[in-house]
Chains A and B, each alone.
Chain A
Amino acid sequence: MIIVLLAFCSILPMFFILFFITRKGISVINWRFLTELPKPVGEIGGGISNAIIGTFMLIGIATAFSVPVGILAGIFLSENRKSRLASLTRLCVETLQGVPSIVIGIVAYLWLVVSMGSFSALSGGMALGLMMLPVIITATEETLKLIPESLKEASLGLGVSYPRTILKVILPAGVSGLVTGILLSIARVAGETAPLLFTAFGSPFMNVNILKPMNSLPLMIFNYATSPYPEWHTLAWGASFILIVFVLGLNLFTKVVTRRWKVQF
Chain B
Amino acid sequence: MNHSRAEVLVLEPKTETMRWRKPALSESSFRKILSAAGAFVLLLLLAILLSLIIASLPAIRSFGIGFFFGSTWDPVRSEFGAFPFVLGTLATSFLALIISVIFSIPISIFLGEYSAQGPTATFIKSMIELLAGVPSVIYGFCGLFLLAPLVRILETKLGVAPYGVGIFAASLVLSIMIIPYSASIGREVISLVPSDLKEAAFSLGATRFEVIRKVILPYAGSGIVAGILLSLGRALGETMAVTMVIGNSNFIPKSIFSPANTLPSVIANEFTEATGSLYLASLIKLGLVLFIVTTLINLIGKLIIRRIGVRE
Tell me how many residue pairs across A and B have CB atoms closer than 8 Å. Answer: 232
Whether A107 lies near B137 (C-beta < 8 A) is no
Q: A20-B146, A79-B34, A225-B144 are in contact. Are A110 and B51 (CB under 8 A)?
A: yes
Residue from B106, B136, B145 whose CB has the most chain A CB atoms within 10 Å? B106
Q: How large is the interface on B (under 10, 10 to 19, 20 to 34, 35 or more residues)?
A: 35 or more
Whether B23 lies near A10 (C-beta < 8 A) is no
For window 187-237 of A, CB contacts with B under 8 Å fall at: 187, 190-194, 197-198, 201, 218, 221-222, 225-226, 233, 236
Q: A17-B138, A163-B30, A193-B136 are in contact. Are A99 and B48 (CB under 8 A)?
A: yes
Residues on B with beta carbons closer than 8 Å to the beta carbon of A103: 48, 52, 237, 287, 290-291
- Which segment, of A26-34, A85-93, A257-265, faces chain B? A85-93
Query: Roughly how many angstroms separate A137 CA and B40 CA in the complex, as a whole number?
Result: 12
From B45, B106, B145, B267, give the contact of A7 (CB < 8 A).
B106
Min Cβ gap A117→B in Å is 15
Query: Roughly how many angstroms separate A198 CA and B200 CA in the complex, as a whole number?
Result: 59
- Which segment, of A36-44, A67-75, A146-154, A173-181, faces chain B? A67-75
Q: How large is the interface on A (under 10, 10 to 19, 20 to 34, 35 or more residues)?
A: 35 or more
Interface of B is mostly: helix
Interface status of B298 (Cβ within 8 A of chain A):
yes
Q: Chain A residue with minimal CB distance to B289? A: A103
Whether B138 lies near A240 (C-beta < 8 A) is yes
Query: Roughly how many angstroms separate A80 CA and B99 CA in the complex, as a whole number?
Result: 42
Binary CB contact string for chain A from 1 to 39 against chain B (1 if under 8 A, 0 otherwise)? 011111111110110110011000000000000000000
Query: Roughly how many angstroms separate A61 CA and B310 CA in the complex, as a whole number?
Result: 35
Min Cβ gap B148→A in Å is 12
Interface status of B160 (Cβ within 8 A of chain A):
no
Which A residues form the contact surface with B (CB < 8 A)?
2-11, 13-14, 16-17, 20-21, 69, 72-73, 75-77, 79-80, 85-86, 88-89, 91-103, 106-107, 109-111, 130, 133, 137, 161-164, 166, 187, 190-194, 197-198, 201, 218, 221-222, 225-226, 233, 236, 240, 243-244, 247-248, 251
Q: A7-B109, A80-B35, A193-B135 are in contact. List 17 more A-B contacts (CB 8 A).
A: A2-B106, A4-B114, A6-B106, A10-B106, A11-B131, A69-B40, A73-B41, A76-B38, A89-B38, A102-B264, A102-B267, A164-B25, A193-B136, A194-B136, A218-B137, A225-B137, A243-B135
User: Could you list 16 examples of A-B contacts with CB < 8 Å?
Assistant: A3-B110, A7-B103, A7-B110, A7-B111, A10-B106, A11-B128, A80-B38, A89-B39, A95-B298, A96-B44, A96-B45, A101-B136, A103-B291, A163-B27, A164-B25, A222-B140
Q: Top 10 A-B pairs ranked by shortest CB distance? A: A191-B135, A100-B237, A72-B37, A10-B103, A98-B298, A163-B30, A6-B106, A76-B34, A161-B23, A11-B127
